[in-house]
Amino acid sequence: MEELLKKTKNELLLRGYSQKTVKSYLNCLEKYFLFKRRSWKVLEVDSIRKFLLRMNKKGRAAQTVNLYLNAIKFFYREVMKSTERVEIRFVKKNKRIPVVLSRKEVGLIVGSIKNIKHKLILSLAYGAGLRVSEVVGLKIADLDLEELTVCIREGKGKRDRISIVPEKIRGDLQNLVIGRAGENFVFQSERGGKLTSASAQKVFKNGLVKAGIKKKASFHSLRHSFATHLLENGVSIRYVQELLGHQSIRTTQIYTKVMNPRLKKIKSPL
């Protein structure tokens, strides 16, 4: 089993998959191998079905079940070079509306943070629509504070994109990066290295608690709020799609359900 997992890891790395995806795929495969117990090199569709059904019965989310299926398909197609097709459809994902914070709530969260670096982490994440991994991975050379733009290198799907930097935080950002080389991370850890995603998420959670907000919001809610507020301001959905780095506009359209101005104008009859 270890040998097969190592081969899979090498193939994933060779194809440029992110460390996060590699770790997820290997974890999924290991669980499948333990379930199957033997003959791992042999593609058995019935065995895959039973495994995925077990995951479903255990209450795993549709996204997680689909991740297992993707990992297994990759193993047999790319590592074992099997030509047999895995005729199993992906599980339908729950179409949940994202948790969006109001402008006031974002202000309360950011305002509750006293540490200037932590305050800037949340401000830039919201003001530029960044994922937590993009915030902690941001380098000084990727910031253009004259033009108020930020270049996100190899975001989700290995795609680069340009987003906007709020003029409101330009001065504080300049003070944070002044005198440091372009290859340095904008938000360094206390030891001078890369800040972890978990640390940035903790900053957000602390701000959420201090602000007294009860919504089930996460760091990613800042990105959701960025998109929703831009659409409410009348920005074209095409521009919002580009700023977020969505490959399909259908992904961006979820925010139109949150900000529907006609719906918000309807008064309850009570």
Share of the chain above pLDDT 70, in %: 96
Q: Are residues 120 and 72 in the same domain?
A: no
Q: Are residues 58 and 148 in the same domain?
A: no
Selected catalytic residue, list 156, 170, 205, 210: 156
Is the pLDDT assigned to residue 93 strictly greater than 70?
no
Residue 150 φ then ψ, to 5°: -135, 135
Residue ranges making up the domain that contains 142: 103-261
- Mark whether 223 is an active-site residue: yes
- Mark whether 156 is an active-site residue: yes
Q: What whole-number distance in Å separates Cα of residue 23 and Cα of residue 73?
A: 16
Average pLDDT over every residue of 129-150:
95
- Mark whether 54 is an active-site residue: no
Average pLDDT over every residue of 149-164:
85
Q: Are residues 140 and 235 in the same domain?
A: yes
Share of the chain above pLDDT 90, in %: 65
- Mark whether 255 is an active-site residue: yes
Average pLDDT over every residue of 180-202:
91
Nearest CA among 74, 184, 102 for reference residue 140: 184
Domain end residue (candidates: 79, 94, 117): 79
Is the pLDDT assigned to residue 189 strictly greater than 90?
no
Is the pLDDT assigned to residue 135 strictly greater than 70?
yes
Selected catalytic residue, list 32, 118, 126, 131: 131
Q: Are residues 59 and 133 in the same domain?
A: no
Q: Are residues 15 and 111 in the same domain?
A: no
Asked whether residue 119 is assigned to any structural domain, the reply reads yes
Q: How high is the mean pLDDT of the chain?
A: 90
Selected catalytic residue, list 25, 32, 68, 255: 255
Q: Which residues contact 42 (CB under 8 A, 6 or more apart)?
A: none
User: The pTM is what?
Assistant: 0.75
Q: What whole-number distance in Å separates Cα of residue 98 and Cα of residue 168?
A: 26
Q: Looking at residue 60, which CATH number applies to its domain?
A: 1.10.150.130
- Mark whether 224 is an active-site residue: no
Q: What pLDDT is recorded for position 11?
A: 92
Q: What pLDDT is recorded for position 153?
A: 86
- In total, how many domains does the chain have? 2
Q: Are residues 74 and 108 in the same domain?
A: no
- Mark whether 229 is an active-site residue: no
Asked whether residue 257 is assigned to any structural domain, the reply reads yes
Q: Looking at residue 196, which CATH number applies to its domain?
A: 1.10.443.10
Higher pLDDT, residue 239 or 257: 239
Q: Are residues 193 and 62 in the same domain?
A: no
Q: What pLDDT is recorded for position 129?
A: 96
Selected catalytic residue, list 119, 161, 223, 229: 223
User: Measured between alpha carbons, how far is residue 167 from residues 23, 98, 102, 115 in Å?
Assistant: 38, 27, 20, 20
Q: What pLDDT is recorded for position 266?
A: 76
